[in-house]
């Protein structure tokens, strides 16, 4: 007897039951937790850099003012860092939202939020927080969304 479960083995004849096997769900949980850790680490690096940047601004007691070009470069760097933090923050939110879906309703994890169809495991493995099947995502992108 095989210890591996495939979704088709776990699904009932009427099509109900889990979309993914226990092993697949565990794999996706591990992937989501890895991605969460990576995003948190990225945000931590940003927070530390921002803290150091603020402290260096406070300690700059030089009699000379910065050149306008330097100020512009620093402002641009701060904007890029803030954009990165916002992007990482949104990514972290999507990961945590996927973990909530996985824990609340594992039998339906991997179901497209738009069509109700199963999202291919290969897509979930590559993008474990995916909410849409590839067909619907392509349709969305074709419409400019």
- Residue 13 inside a domain? The answer is no
- Residue 9 inside a domain? The answer is no
- CA 35, CA 21: separation in Å to the nearest integer? 21
- Residue 131 inside a domain? The answer is yes
- Residue 109 inside a domain? The answer is yes
Is residue 3 exposed (0-12), middle (13-18) or buried (19+ Cβ within 10 Å)?
exposed
The count of structural domains within the chain is 1
Q: What is the pLDDT of residue 116?
A: 95
Q: Residue 4 — very low, low, confident or very high, per pLDDT cuts 50/70/90? A: very low
Q: What's the CATH number where 122 sits? A: 1.20.120.910
- CA 27, CA 69: separation in Å to the nearest integer? 49
- CA 138, CA 144: separation in Å to the nearest integer? 10
- Residue 83 inside a domain? The answer is yes
In which domain, by residue range, is 116 found? 19-59+68-142
Q: What is the pLDDT of residues 72-104, one digit of tens each?
A: 667 777 776 666 668 888 999 999 999 999 999
Q: Is pTM beyond 0.85 here? A: no
- Residue 4 inside a domain? The answer is no
- Residue 2 inside a domain? The answer is no
Cα torsion 62, 68, 74, 79: sign: positive
- Residue 117 inside a domain? The answer is yes
Token pair 């300690």: residue? 59
Q: What is the pLDDT of residues 23-82, one digit of tens each?
A: 999 999 999 999 999 999 988 876 565 565 555 554 554 455 566 666 666 777 777 666
For residue 10, pLDDT beyond 70? no
């Amino acid at each position: 007897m095989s210890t591996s479960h495939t979704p088709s083995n776990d699904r009932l004849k009427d099509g109900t039951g889990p979309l993914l096997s226990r092993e697949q769900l565990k794999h996706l949980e591990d992937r989501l937790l890895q991605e969460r850790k990576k995003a948190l680490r990225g945000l931590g690096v940003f927070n530390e850099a921002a803290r150091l940047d603020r402290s260096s601004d406070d300690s700059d007691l030089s009699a000379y003012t910065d050149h306008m070009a330097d100020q512009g470069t620093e402002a641009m760097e701060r904007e890029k860092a803030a954009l990165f933090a916002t992007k990482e923050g949104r990514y972290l939110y999507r990961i945590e939202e996927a973990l909530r879906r996985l824990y609340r309703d594992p039998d339906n994890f991997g179901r497209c939020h738009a069509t109700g169809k199963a999202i291919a495991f290969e897509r979930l493995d590559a993008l474990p927080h995916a909410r849409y099947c590839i067909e619907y995502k392509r349709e969305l992108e074709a419409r400019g969304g």
